[in-house]
A and B are shown apart, each in its own frame.
Chain A
């Protein structure tokens, strides 16, 4: 047994009173592949930010706990320091210069130089590049990874997988590298590329480099990891050696049981419960970062349907696609009517409404009054609050104000009055305004994306209760897209899980944790499906 190269001991961190890491312990030995597994928001990134001494940690009050590197207690205050110590990071987004060759990218800022006539007079800065030795180094790094590609090619236009490898090659070319951190490295790779990549990781580990591997693809974890640490809500909930781990076990730990199901009163039945209000067929949505590849889904009248899944797998894209905000193709039938895709107006006027996940970007006019924010869509789409005078539709200020006052009271929006601009309101109150605008349309079907993101705990409950009330008292069909599975499980009737842009399965809210975990990690077919 060799000594751990890195040890994180009792790490705690809070952001503005919100505990995101609670006494986390992780240690990695040289030559070990250590997997760090957890849902979005489990605290993985925060942990890595601490390891790299990112400014964001220090700007928010630092952390408590200790970091040992190679047996010594260290205090890493900047990414540069981390790199000097021999900690390398392979980023999720590529940081490569497209116009440069592979070699140049690998040796960027660490170029090998040699003297020439001018540099002998004018000094170090004028030295020329020793391309030959740089090539050799680059070749060596690429060979270590088993990547058979000419090292003088330009990076521009290379397939994503190759770019990922070049990024890694850059890290291992640093002679002092002793710990490599991979942040969801396979997220953008195809299966074959991922396969190659995993092989390269093993090869690297065998040279004595410690590897910390952050992912939520559980199958990959089983393939390469020697040890596994599972995080949930900032706590270590499991430490497993590969021998004792299984995909099911990890999935269960990752999702965990943390559900307090809200007791529902029996619903007023609105017609036949089996009637479909919305049918989505082969929907493809080209939303950057949340691509929907092929989703078919049926939504029943009067239900609350949850759409869950990990970030980047396309769950957010579905609502945005149906509402016409991102280019999409496929077929969407609402109440027997085919909806014109890529046309928000059509979707809105047929009786659907949408509360966007991007509250400040899409959801609000930040410099405008609350009343205008609430009334605008209903005015533009349905012609509410308007009076036609001499052929021109004029807005009726008093009608808008009365409506706003009523809704402010009903939803308990905390503000100084309907004329206050929305920028200065709290996240919870802003969210209420977004919902207020949507319900001003009196829609039959309401899409709500990430309704509780970025708002405090108290406001979360109010928003969830509000959605429940809309559903139960007004019979509104609601589709909630959320990264917080617990939230979905507390109020939804059914939960659809999206994986890799496709529907992985539909589960009842009280299904087993293992099934949820498996579906979110793409363990297709293993979980029981219900519908």
Chain B
């Protein structure tokens, strides 16, 4: 019995069990505190959907051997620029979302290629270099947001002057476009079918890709570069493919995130966006060398569920002013920290 139990834990992953137990404790206390369970559950689904593509972006980079993509802000910025341009073109609704995606993806292909070239020069240090490459690009783009010659009143400061606002509302353009699509309220939970369907389609794409010749070559490079070389696979080439894919998913991911959030965040907002995605996939059971779609879905769900439930629970327990905000920061960064300690392999 003990043996079997241990084996079960080993198979399922210690990290995941710890997180699930924590989540369970939070849910029970939410129930005991008589919080609105329905809004919590619905919130979990929406937050999982809006973050899923950003987590999914980790998969190609892990599979191609560049590790966790801490340079995700590179892709995120491509998506943001796409959105800004689509607003500047005065597009609305589906057209705006589509245009933002097309522009974002095009930029991400180029940026991912360049970023891939950089990563090929710093093998074995991708994650550290990636973190700072991300930071640098975000800072560089801050200048762009100030200097960019956009004139759309939706984006510049209401009192005029130079530069774009820190947060641009998407209410008139594509805010909530996926969240509202096929949104169905039920008795116990509201399910955003459109949002979930949209992100799951991309999971399916990545899964199919991992079954293709190129996908398999990319995974081979990640799992044993010397083997890959002996099999006639171009190591550098496959690493670039992985980085481009990851960057593209980052660009598309931020657009899904932004439409759900309702705002486009410029300037330093993308700075730390890689960390929740990294934490989510690690909690899901991935390692620096191995990641799958299952890891993405489980990880994103668990991570976001924790955040969604933890906030109202701490609010109810500690109503004093901004103490709950402090606790929220401790919890979300605590989960990230815990996930990062599992970086070498959670299961």
B212, A364: Cβ atoms closer than 8 Å:
no
Please provide the chain A residues from 125 to 169 with a CB less than 8 Å away from any CB of chain B in the complex: none
The stretch among A26-34, A392-400, A408-416 that forms the contact with chain B is: A392-400
Shortest C-beta distance, A402 to chain B (Å), equals: 17
Cβ contact of B226, chosen from A361, A381, A386, cutoff 8 A:
A361
Shortest C-beta distance, A366 to chain B (Å), equals: 7
Interface size class of chain A, counting residues whose CB lies under 8 Å from the partner chain: 20 to 34
Does A379 count as interface, using CB distance less than 8 angstroms? yes
* CB-CB nearest in chain A for B219: A368
A376, B214: Cβ atoms closer than 8 Å:
no
Inside 8 A of B230's CB, which chain A residues have their CB?
Answer: 323, 325, 344, 354, 356, 362-363, 377
Interface flags for A70-108 (1: CB within 8 Å of B; 0: not) read 000000000000000000000000000000000000000
- Interchain CA distance A354-B230 in the complex, whole Å: 8
Cβ contact of B229, chosen from A344, A368, A381, A395, cutoff 8 A:
A344
Give the one of B212, B213, B231 with max A CB within 10 A. Answer: B231
Inside 8 A of B213's CB, which chain A residues have their CB?
Answer: 379-380, 383, 386, 392-395
* CB-CB nearest in chain A for B224: A365
Known contacts A365-B220, A365-B224, A367-B290; is-contact A381 B212 (Cβ 8 Å): no
A364, B227: Cβ atoms closer than 8 Å:
yes
A365, B216: Cβ atoms closer than 8 Å:
no
Shortest C-beta distance, B214 to chain A (Å), equals: 7
Inside 8 A of A344's CB, which chain B residues have their CB?
Answer: 229-232
A325, B232: Cβ atoms closer than 8 Å:
no
Give the one of B214, B223, B224 with max A CB within 10 A. Answer: B224
- Interchain CA distance A522-B212 in the complex, whole Å: 51
Does A345 count as interface, using CB distance less than 8 angstroms? yes
Does A201 count as interface, using CB distance less than 8 angstroms? no
Inside 8 A of B180's CB, which chain A residues have their CB?
Answer: none
Shortest C-beta distance, A427 to chain B (Å), equals: 17
- Interchain CA distance A394-B205 in the complex, whole Å: 12
Does B211 count as interface, using CB distance less than 8 angstroms? yes
Inside 8 A of A253's CB, which chain B residues have their CB?
Answer: none
B231, A348: Cβ atoms closer than 8 Å:
yes
Shortest C-beta distance, B256 to chain A (Å), equals: 24
A380, B227: Cβ atoms closer than 8 Å:
no
* CB-CB nearest in chain B for A358: B226
Does B84 count as interface, using CB distance less than 8 angstroms? no
Shortest C-beta distance, B13 to chain A (Å), equals: 16
Please provide the chain B residues from 231 to 248 with a CB less than 8 Å away from any CB of chain A in the complex: 231-234
Inside 8 A of B227's CB, which chain A residues have their CB?
Answer: 362-365
* CB-CB nearest in chain A for B213: A393
Cβ contact of B232, chosen from A361, A368, A377, cutoff 8 A:
A377
B231, A368: Cβ atoms closer than 8 Å:
no
Shortest C-beta distance, B115 to chain A (Å), equals: 24
Does A207 count as interface, using CB distance less than 8 angstroms? no
Shortest C-beta distance, B108 to chain A (Å), equals: 20
- Interchain CA distance A360-B227 in the complex, whole Å: 9
B212, A376: Cβ atoms closer than 8 Å:
no
Shortest C-beta distance, A344 to chain B (Å), equals: 5
Give the one of A364, A368, A386 with max B CB within 10 A. Answer: A368
Inside 8 A of A362's CB, which chain B residues have their CB?
Answer: 224, 226-227, 230
Please provide the chain A residues from 300 to 331 with a CB less than 8 Å away from any CB of chain B in the complex: 323, 325
- Interchain CA distance A367-B211 in the complex, whole Å: 17
Shortest C-beta distance, B110 to chain A (Å), equals: 22
Does A19 count as interface, using CB distance less than 8 angstroms? no
- Interchain CA distance A380-B238 in the complex, whole Å: 12
Shortest C-beta distance, B266 to chain A (Å), equals: 36
Known contacts A393-B213, A393-B214; is-contact A380 B233 (Cβ 8 Å): yes
- Interchain CA distance A392-B211 in the complex, whole Å: 10
A377, B212: Cβ atoms closer than 8 Å:
no
Inside 8 A of A364's CB, which chain B residues have their CB?
Answer: 224, 227
* CB-CB nearest in chain B for A362: B226
Shortest C-beta distance, B275 to chain A (Å), equals: 27
Inside 8 A of B21's CB, which chain A residues have their CB?
Answer: none
A380, B231: Cβ atoms closer than 8 Å:
yes
B211, A395: Cβ atoms closer than 8 Å:
yes
Interface flags for B206-219 (1: CB within 8 Å of A; 0: not) read 00110111101100
- Interchain CA distance A366-B290 in the complex, whole Å: 13
Inside 8 A of B214's CB, which chain A residues have their CB?
Answer: 392-393
Inside 8 A of B232's CB, which chain A residues have their CB?
Answer: 344-349, 377, 380-381
- Interchain CA distance A21-B231 in the complex, whole Å: 40
* CB-CB nearest in chain B for A345: B232
- Interchain CA distance A325-B228 in the complex, whole Å: 11
Known contacts A323-B230, A348-B232, A367-B290; is-contact A380 B212 (Cβ 8 Å): no
B212, A394: Cβ atoms closer than 8 Å:
yes
Shortest C-beta distance, B290 to chain A (Å), equals: 7
Shortest C-beta distance, A347 to chain B (Å), equals: 8
- Interchain CA distance A346-B234 in the complex, whole Å: 12
Inside 8 A of B231's CB, which chain A residues have their CB?
Answer: 344, 348, 376-377, 380-381
Please provide the chain A residues from 439 to 475 with a CB less than 8 Å away from any CB of chain B in the complex: none
- Interchain CA distance A380-B217 in the complex, whole Å: 7
Interface flags for A323-342 (1: CB within 8 Å of B; 0: not) read 10100000000000000000
Inside 8 A of A365's CB, which chain B residues have their CB?
Answer: 220, 223-224, 227
Shortest C-beta distance, A422 to chain B (Å), equals: 11
Give the one of A344, A347, A356, A358 with max B CB within 10 A. Answer: A344
* CB-CB nearest in chain B for A377: B231
- Interchain CA distance A62-B177 in the complex, whole Å: 73
Shortest C-beta distance, A374 to chain B (Å), equals: 12
A394, B226: Cβ atoms closer than 8 Å:
no
Cβ contact of A325, chosen from B223, B229, B289, cutoff 8 A:
B229
- Interchain CA distance A380-B231 in the complex, whole Å: 7
- Interchain CA distance A281-B234 in the complex, whole Å: 26
Interface flags for B40-64 (1: CB within 8 Å of A; 0: not) read 0000000000000000000000000
Interface flags for B295-309 (1: CB within 8 Å of A; 0: not) read 000000000000000
- Interchain CA distance A363-B223 in the complex, whole Å: 12
- Interchain CA distance A422-B233 in the complex, whole Å: 21
Inside 8 A of A377's CB, which chain B residues have their CB?
Answer: 230-232
Inside 8 A of A386's CB, which chain B residues have their CB?
Answer: 213
- Interchain CA distance A361-B211 in the complex, whole Å: 24
Inside 8 A of A383's CB, which chain B residues have their CB?
Answer: 213
Q: What are 29 of the A-B contact pairs (CB < 8 Å)? A: A325-B230, A344-B229, A344-B232, A345-B232, A345-B233, A346-B232, A348-B232, A354-B230, A361-B226, A362-B224, A363-B230, A365-B227, A372-B216, A377-B232, A379-B213, A380-B213, A380-B216, A380-B217, A381-B232, A392-B209, A392-B212, A392-B214, A393-B213, A393-B214, A394-B211, A394-B212, A395-B212, A395-B213, A397-B211
Other 16 A-B pairs with CB < 8 A, given A344-B230, A392-B214: A358-B226, A365-B220, A366-B224, A368-B223, A379-B216, A380-B217, A380-B220, A380-B232, A380-B233, A381-B231, A381-B232, A392-B208, A392-B212, A393-B214, A395-B216, A397-B211
Interface residues in chain A, defined as those with a beta carbon under 8 Å from any beta carbon in chain B: 323, 325, 344-349, 354, 356, 358, 361-368, 372, 376-377, 379-381, 383, 386, 392-395, 397
Interface pairs A-B: 8 shortest CB-CB: A345-B232, A393-B213, A377-B231, A344-B232, A362-B226, A348-B232, A381-B232, A392-B212
